[in-house]
Every structure is written in C-alpha cells, then in structure tokens.
Structure 1
C-alpha cells in the first residue's frame, strides 16, 4: 500500500459490502476492464471502492489515477465519496469531466496553443454570429430563404457543427460519405430506392428516380450547410473564441503530434477509469484511446448497454463494442452487474423483459463475438 495514503474504515466496510460481481471488478487491478452496469447497480460506489483498492494494493499514489465522467455533479459525487475513503488525498486524484480535463491540459501547456487571449463563446454569440453569416448569403445559395424566415436553419446549423466536432468529422469526410451513399443508391444497392414490383411509376428493379431526386436536393442543402459551418468556425478564430468541443479536438491534435508529451500523461496516469462510457462521443473516445495507446493499459470503463435503447444524450453501444474489439487480444475482462439496489423485483422483471428484446445489447454481442461463458450471461 502506498504509505502516503491512509485507507479509512469506511472504505473497508464498503469493500466488505460488495457483492460477488462488484468485488470481481474491484479486485481486477491490472489490464483492461469493462463493466456493464445498469442504473441502481452501484456504479459510483464501485468506481470509488476500486480506486481505494488500487491505493490499498499497489505502490501507486492518488496522483497516478485519472477518473473521467460526464457531469460536474458526477465529479462532485465521486470526490465526496473518495474523501470519506482516503481523506484529503482524494484531492490529488484527477477527477474531471472530459472538457475539464482538456481545459487542464491546455492551461498546463499554453506554449503549444498560443491562446492566451482566447475566450469560450457564449450561447448568445453562437446565434448572433451564425445569423450574421446567413444574412450575407446570396439569393442563389441553397440555404437562402428570403427575409421572412431567413434564420430558420440556425438551430440546425449550430447542432450540426456541435455534432461534427464531437464526432471528429471534417467537411471533407461528410461530403465523401454523401457522395459514396448516392453512388451506392444509383447502383441499385439500396433496396429503399428500388421498385420491388411493377407500378405505374416504374417496373420491378427500376430505380425510384423521383425519390433519389428529393434526396439529392436535401444533400445539396447539407453540403451548403457545411460551407456555412466552415465560415462560422473561421469567424470564431478571427474573434478568438472557441466552443467546448474545440478543447477536446485541440488536445487530441496535441497528443497526436507530440508523442513525448503524450508519453508524460501515460507515465502520470497509471490507472484510468471512465463512467457512463456508453455516452462517450467520437472525440471523447479518441481522447481515451490516445491516453491508453500502449500495451496492457490499466483502463476501466463502466457502461450501461441498456441505455442504448433510449439513446440518452447520444448513448450508443457502438463505442463499447469498439472497446471490446480493441482489447479482445489483451486480456480484456468483462463483468456484468445484475443486482439493482433501487428498484423492486416486480419492476425489474418487467424492465428486463423489455430489455431482453433489444437486439443491440452489448452482452449479446460479446457472447457472439468472443464466445464468452454462457454462465456469465445466464441472468440476461
């Protein structure tokens, strides 16, 4: 145990109260670990106890642990829980939202960013500046709507810009996806655009050119939107403003282009834990990949594959599948938590019946992908 960290009786009691599956996850100290845990299965407690276990059983200190979550409330809850376990040393643990972590990296290394005068853009400024760009559109521009409702697309443009930054999409990438999809459609490979039987509008096997024309028109507007978004981001740079999504992409670029600096973070954070992993977007997932881009990283992700039914905040099991695939040959351990401490059993029975019908569940994928023990998933 690290001699500088005092483990409290509160931690010891919490550890003893863990059920068998929770203890299995907490005791897995080294290597990649994925915990599939639904609401009410004690995820916050699990993460906090595992951090205590790391400090109890290894020679590493709290400064060697990084915990990433999605909300400031989640950060506060985790830090308070850890303070009850290890006292003031909890302040030495890196507990951040993804954006706060990236802001910390930027503040710690200003020499790489040259952004002393830059400020985050406000919500009001986003709308004002997007409207300024739209007001200058020529009358033949695909997004020009005249004076009556000329700003009707502002919300959609701001949302698209945010999504592109979150997922790490560039203008060229989106345009290529559009062109490739249209080519696939026109080659007759997309059933939705091919007549299945003879009709007055076309024979079986013919392409639905009227429907394709409507789609092309929408894609023309999408490409025009990409141009507007490009102008908007140029305006941000000119006025020395940035979105929160920009911070993550800047840090990704920094780590990709400065291997020595990235190695420093590998050395600093020997253990990385991520809560609500199903909510990570493409940029956040790329950041985590860079932070763990070496042999046998000690990384734990906790996610709820059932959240993918609801798609809360873009929740998806796609990144969880990618994590499983990435570490399939590196001793990945998977633990499924099944005991719910919030709901009564009759509520759980109904919920589980609904969940069992979701064909996209991660546990089902893992069974098929890795032939994992059927006993492990017998409760699903």
Structure 2
C-alpha cells in the first residue's frame, strides 16, 4: 500500500478524464516509456497526472521525482497543476529546465566547481570579446577581412560556439567531420560532385574539381573559425566568465568523472520525466543518458514525432529513435496518443531512412540551419 495516497478530487477527476491511451501511459509506472504526442494532446496534463499516479501507487516521495522541460513557463505550469493535486508537497518535486537543473547541481556541490568568483558573460560582452580577438587577426588568417568590415563574422562565430557547446561537439569532432566529408566528395561518392553527362571539357563520371575546391576553401575558413572560437573560450576561462551553455557541459564532466556522485542522483531520482524530448540537444541528451545509465531506469520521455522526424536539425534528428534503440531490449513501452499517428515501426523506419541518407548531418547542420555557408564560408 502506498504511503502517499493522492485522494484530492482534482487528481481523481483529472485521472478519470484521460482517454484509454493516456491512461495506458499514466499507469505504466516502472521501466522506460516513450510517449509520442502531437500538439494539443494535453502533454502537461499527462505528465502531471502520471506524477500523481506514481505517488499514489508507490512508496516513493515527491523528492524522488525529477521532471525536465524546456521553458520556465513550462516549469511553472507543471508545478501549478501538481499543487492542485498534492498541495504544498508539489514544491518537493524536482521540476527544472535542463539549465536550471545543472545550475542546481553546481550550487549543491560547490566543492567540485572552483567558481566562487566566476560570473556569466553578457550578450554584449560576447560580441566585444569576440571582436577583440578578430581585431588581432593577421592578413594571412582566412577570416581576415582586409578593407571590409572586420567584424562581419562575429555573430556567426558566436552562434557556432553556442551550437558546438549545445551538441557537445569538440574542435576535433568538427574537424574530423569536415575531413571525412571532403574525402567523400573527392572519392566520387556524392553525385553532386560528379558529372552525370558528358560535357565539352569533361566525361561522364569525372569529378567536378572546381566545385570541390570551392568547398575546400569554404571549410578552410570553417577550421579557421574553430581557431578563433578556441581563443574566445580560453579568454572566458582567463577572465573567470562562462557561457550559458557551459553549465550543462560542466555537469556532464562531473558526472562522467565522479561515479559516486552520479550514483547519488540515481538513488535520489527514482522517476525521471522529460517533456518535448525531440527538442533536446546533444548536451541535454547526454545529461539524461547519464542520469539513467543503469538497468531498467524509470524514465519517461514525451515527444512529437512529426517535429523529430521532419525537423532536419542534424544531431537532434535521432533522439526519439536513439531512445527506442537504447531501451528496445529493456521492456520499452511506446504509447501513441493520436489514432491518426503513424505506428511506432513507421516512426522508427522513417528516422532510420533520414539518418541513413544524411551522413554528413553535422556539416549540413552547420551550413544550412545557421546559414554559415553564406556568411562564415562564402567570403567575398
């Protein structure tokens, strides 16, 4: 018998109002669970009622539940709804954005972070400090602008730095992706760089060397951008400042290096729920992976498969599929909330097809999503 009966009328009414599929998700207390839910399917209500159900059906307390979402508004909406179910005990439930959760870890364990004097950097300072580095470039540097605007690339450099931190991409990772991509197009594997018909100066099957050299030049600039970003991050460290995205990566490093502390979080949070899972970036996904890196974790993710499959955002595109692959042998339960949604297998097949046909997705992400091909690569 649970020591945490949830007898409030608000909770009972909310539970009874669920449709059969929603109840199926709410009643699946233990083990991994993926809920595929489109817009307007009452995801906040579903998550709130499931938390109430956990407290009703188990002996765990609110302090053993962690709910991660993406906005402060989402946090407040969740907490307000839970307060109507369980009263002031809702304040004991860990409801955070990913950044707020990592900030809490840092605040709770200052002994691991020598950051007493560290301060977050402002948006204005980001531009000023990046301009400081750019102003010191010599004429032989690929990003040197000569008589043009010397700071035209600053905004894109800041964006690239943010993306790399969000996705957990190191300089070596990006450089390897670039080298692999260039090797691929030089080998003739990509039809875009191979003549498909005979022309005046080329035979069918010849490589388009002019186009290949153009891409090599573009990626020379990209690698140069990585040098500038490395200098920027060293400057942050020297001046004891940090970017917003740094907090998540610091916590990842701590969890990876300190198994004892990570195990404490495994013990504390027996149930983990994540909203808008398809929007998690690489670093956020790594936090979740570490928090559930043991046998049969009680983890629930809620995501919109339409957004996940058709987003075309590089490393983010496989989150739903990766979760399914990871727990497919561990009793994963999948609940689809709308009858007109595709079957689970269709979803996974579609994700597989996209990933298989998007081999240089990191490069595509850098070029297309943030238009760096226009501003970082294509210098006049």
Match in the other structure for 1:216: 216
Q: Distance in 2 between matches of 1:369 and 1:152?
A: 37
Give yes or no for the alignment of 1:16 onto 2:41: no
Q: Distance in 2 between matches of 1:225 and 1:123?
A: 19
Shift of 1:11: 0.3
Q: Distance in 2 between matches of 1:42 and 1:314?
A: 28
**Deviation by residue 1:308-360 (Cα, 9 ceiling, x = unmatched):** 46639989441110000000000000000117xxxxxxxxxxxx7xx97xxxx
Runs of at least 5 residues in structure 1 that lack an aligned partner in the other structure: 340-351, 371-380
Give yes or no for the alignment of 1:365 onto 2:357: no
4+ aligned runs moved over 6 Å, structure 1: 312-315, 367-370
Matches within 5 A, 1:96-135: 96-135=96-135
Match in the other structure for 2:232: 232
Cα RMSD of the aligned pairs, angstroms, is 2.1
Match in the other structure for 2:364: none
Q: Distance in 2 between matches of 1:111 and 1:316?
A: 33
Asked if the contact 1:5–1:89 (Cα under 8 Å) also holds between the matched residues in 2, the reply is no
Asked if the contact 1:321–1:362 (Cα under 8 Å) also holds between the matched residues in 2, the reply is no
TM-score, normalisation: structure 1: 0.89
Matches within 5 A, 1:335-346: 335-338=335-338
**Deviation by residue 1:222-249 (Cα, 9 ceiling, x = unmatched):** 0000000000000000111111111000
Q: Distance in 2 between matches of 1:244 and 1:113?
A: 16
Q: Residue 244 of structure 1: SS of its match in structure 2?
A: coil
Shift of 1:364: 1.3
Match in the other structure for 2:94: 94
Match in the other structure for 2:369: none
Match in the other structure for 1:71: 71
Match in the other structure for 1:139: 139
Shift of 1:7: 3.7
Q: Residue 273 of structure 2: SS of its match in structure 1?
A: strand
Q: Distance in 2 between matches of 1:326 and 1:63?
A: 27
TM-score, normalisation: structure 2: 0.89
Shift of 1:365: 3.3
Q: How many residues align structurally?
A: 352
Q: Are residues 362 and 165 of structure 1, via their aligned partners in 2, closer, same or farther at CA, if it must alter by over 3 Å?
A: farther
Asked if the contact 2:308–2:318 (Cα under 8 Å) also holds between the matched residues in 1, the reply is no
Q: Are residues 17 and 314 of structure 1, via their aligned partners in 2, closer, same or farther at CA, if it must alter by over 3 Å?
A: farther
Runs of at least 5 residues in structure 2 that lack an aligned partner in the other structure: 353-380
Asked if the contact 1:65–1:93 (Cα under 8 Å) also holds between the matched residues in 2, the reply is yes
Asked if the contact 1:35–1:300 (Cα under 8 Å) also holds between the matched residues in 2, the reply is yes
**Deviation by residue 1:190-219 (Cα, 9 ceiling, x = unmatched):** 111111111124111111000000000000
Match in the other structure for 1:50: 50
Q: Residue 173 of structure 1: SS of its match in structure 2?
A: helix
Q: Distance in 2 between matches of 1:280 and 1:241?
A: 25
Q: Distance in 2 between matches of 1:337 and 1:44?
A: 13
